[in-house]
Amino acid sequence: MRKNQGLALLVSIAMLAGLLAIVAALAAQQEAVSRQRINRMDLSNAKIMAQAGVAFALATLSQQSANATTQNDQWNQIGGQPTQPGSLRYDDAGGTFRIQILDANSLIDINTVTQAQLQNLPLTSAQVDSLLDWREPGTTARADGAKDDFYTALPNPYLTRLGRFYSVEDLLLVDNWVPQTLYDTAQDLGSSVSLTSGNSNTQPTLDTLLTTDSLSPNTNPQGQTKININSTNFTAQQLEQRGIPPFIANAIFARKPITSLSQIFTLPGVGGQTANAILDQVTTQPGSEAEGLLDLNTVTLPVLNTVPNMTPDIATAIINQQQTGFTGLTGLLSLSAGTQSALQNLVDYFCVASDTFIVRVQGTTGNTHYDLQATIQIQNGKVQVTSEKECEFPDMPVRWGWYQVTNDTVLVDPSQVVTNQ
């Protein structure tokens, strides 16, 4: 009898232990489900905060001047002082966001960049040729490039774009371009190219120097569209009406097509006020907006160092002048650095105002972050978001070079990025 009672007690204890284990498992499962729900809510709220940052940028840029884009503009201050990007935190009931706004015309536009400028980047000849082959029409590849016959033979075949890049990440579709090309520094890639002084940790990565959209007003100081001297409708009288002396206007007309403004400066009699008038009134691009020009007021030293024929003294003079600002391209010719001829050879690369801005924003709720990059364009006085993407890496503030990020912070391995190649 006692044996039966003891056995029953053991069975009861075992059953109770089993029930307790089930209850504990259910509680743990419920806790995990609850934690997942909270994490999803935090991520959703962090995304909302990032979107709030973009809306904040839209409101800020709605006040932007069309005549000049300077470092003293409000858009350049809301992320903290230019030397401390991302240092300000904006609080809201759902969380916080940190933000940085960049002038897209301070970056290199891969849809318009020339071969000569690409060769000043830490790239191989194969990477340069393949990029140009990807965006340009035709079926014949450059010596080190690639066209459809290469891409259609891949295990996962696709066609060459033969047109615009939609995003910087599109470069990972291009032959010879891998994540390390975009996301590692030149020194990490074994390149001797240095775009700025300092050790390898201070060198920018290519993804922070490139863009696919950079439009600037193609207008004179009065807001009129500049005269396109390559237009079929172009006449010398149009230039005369804008203050260009008749003999120079006729000389320009006789020389067309003219692919660069620097060619005009070789004409007899072009100098002084006439040179200034040409820079104010003349363009080689059609339309009221120009693409791919670098803003003298915001371009950084690493990007300046990629411009063909740029010298260290001219680059330094441009950076120093940014403190007071350039009001027109004539300011470039007024720099004390370099010869007048050297400065004239650079005018085709620059502008002084931008219609395109890049917004980098991190939204935060609790310990959850959401990193977002958006492109904003100003056209006909209307400010709008033209593209938006979630960022690839969990260490975006490090990659963006935001304030309080130390130089010895290790970047996430770019091999984590999945490519379509």
Count Cα neighbours of 343 within 13 Å in the Cβ-side half-sphere. Answer: 21
**Cβ neighbours of residue 406 closer than 8 Å, sequence gap 6 or more:** none
Q: How far apart are CA 97 and CA 135, in angstroms?
A: 36
Length of the chain: 421
Strand partners, 382: 379
Q: How far apart are CA 98 and CA 53, in angstroms?
A: 7
Radius of gyration of the chain from Cα atoms? 28
Nearest to 229 by CA among 283, 305, 165, 302: 283
**Cβ neighbours of residue 110 closer than 8 Å, sequence gap 6 or more:** 131, 135, 165, 168, 171, 210, 211, 212
Q: How far is CA 52 from the centre of its chain?
A: 21
pLDDT (tens, 9 = 90+) of the chain, 421 residues, equals 555 666 666 667 777 777 777 766 666 666 665 666 666 888 899 999 999 999 999 999 998 888 889 888 999 988 877 778 888 888 877 788 899 999 999 999 999 999 999 999 999 999 999 999 999 999 999 999 999 999 999 999 999 999 999 999 999 999 999 999 998 875 555 555 667 765 555 678 898 899 999 999 998 888 889 999 888 888 889 999 988 999 999 998 988 888 888 888 888 888 888 888 888 899 988 888 999 999 999 999 999 999 999 999 999 999 999 989 998 888 998 888 878 888 889 999 999 999 999 999 999 988 889 999 999 999 888 999 999 999 878 888 888 888 765 444 444 444 444 443 3
For 404: left if phi > 0, alpha if psi spans -120 to 50, otherwise beta; the answer is left
Q: How far apart are CA 79 and CA 403, in angstroms?
A: 10
Q: How far apart are CA 349 and CA 366, in angstroms?
A: 45
Q: How far apart are CA 343 and CA 234, in angstroms?
A: 27
Q: Is residue 54 part of a domain?
A: yes
Q: Which pLDDT value is given to residue 416?
A: 46
Structural domains counted in the chain: 2
Q: Which pLDDT value is given to residue 188?
A: 52
- Parallel/antiparallel/unpaired status of strands 210-211 and 215-217: unpaired
Read off the pTM. 0.84
Q: Is residue 315 part of a domain?
A: yes
Last residue of a domain, one of 248, 263, 287: 287
The 10 Å Cβ neighbour count of residue 80 is 19
For 326: left if phi > 0, alpha if psi spans -120 to 50, otherwise beta; the answer is beta
Q: In which residue are the tokens 């003891």 written?
A: 6
In terms of domains, do 376 and 281 share one?
no
Tokens standing for residue 175: 């032959």
Q: Is residue 121 part of a domain?
A: no
Q: How far apart are CA 368 and CA 42, in angstroms?
A: 6
Q: Is residue 299 part of a domain?
A: yes
Q: Is residue 213 part of a domain?
A: yes
Helix (H) or strand (E) holding 361: strand 356-365
Tokens standing for residue 394: 């969990």
Q: Is residue 195 part of a domain?
A: no
Last residue of a domain, one of 272, 287, 302: 287
In terms of domains, do 275 and 304 share one?
no
Q: Which pLDDT value is given to residue 187?
A: 55
Nearest to 100 by CA among 92, 110, 91, 90: 90
Asked whether the beta carbons of 71 and 95 are under 8 A apart, the reply is no
What sign results for the dihedral spanned by CA atoms 192, 193, 197, 199?
Answer: negative
In terms of domains, do 103 and 229 share one?
no
List C-alpha distances in Å: 389 to 135, 359, 377, 405, 419.
Answer: 22, 11, 15, 23, 16
In terms of domains, do 213 and 322 share one?
yes
For 176: left if phi > 0, alpha if psi spans -120 to 50, otherwise beta; the answer is left
Query: Nearest 5°: CA angle at 135, between 129 and 140?
Result: 60
CATH number at residue 278: 1.10.150.320
Q: In which residue are the tokens 């310990």 written?
A: 367
In terms of domains, do 354 and 333 share one?
yes
Q: How far apart are CA 126 and CA 128, in angstroms?
A: 5
Query: Over 260-293, what HEC string results?
Result: CHHHHHHCCCCCHHHHHHHHHHEECCCCCEEECC
List C-alpha distances in Å: 133 to 33, 136, 176.
Answer: 51, 5, 12
Task: Identify the three-state secondary structure at position 407.
Answer: coil
In terms of domains, do 258 and 307 share one?
no
In terms of domains, do 305 and 267 share one?
no
In terms of domains, do 385 and 315 share one?
yes
Helix (H) or strand (E) holding 375: strand 368-379
Tokens standing for residue 335: 């720099």
In terms of domains, do 340 and 213 share one?
yes
**Cβ neighbours of residue 410 closer than 8 Å, sequence gap 6 or more:** none
The domain of 233 spans 219-287
List C-alpha distances in Å: 405 to 41, 76, 93, 162.
Answer: 28, 19, 26, 39
The DSSP output letter for 203 is: S
In terms of domains, do 281 and 340 share one?
no
Last residue of a domain, one of 264, 287, 310: 287
Asked whether the beta carbons of 347 and 261 are under 8 A apart, the reply is yes
Q: Which pLDDT value is given to residue 410?
A: 42
Tokens standing for residue 164: 């615009």
Q: Which pLDDT value is given to residue 255?
A: 84
Q: Is residue 404 part of a domain?
A: no
Q: Is residue 178 part of a domain?
A: no
Q: Which pLDDT value is given to residue 154?
A: 95
In terms of domains, do 278 and 294 share one?
no
In terms of domains, do 23 and 48 share one?
yes
Q: Which pLDDT value is given to residue 300?
A: 93
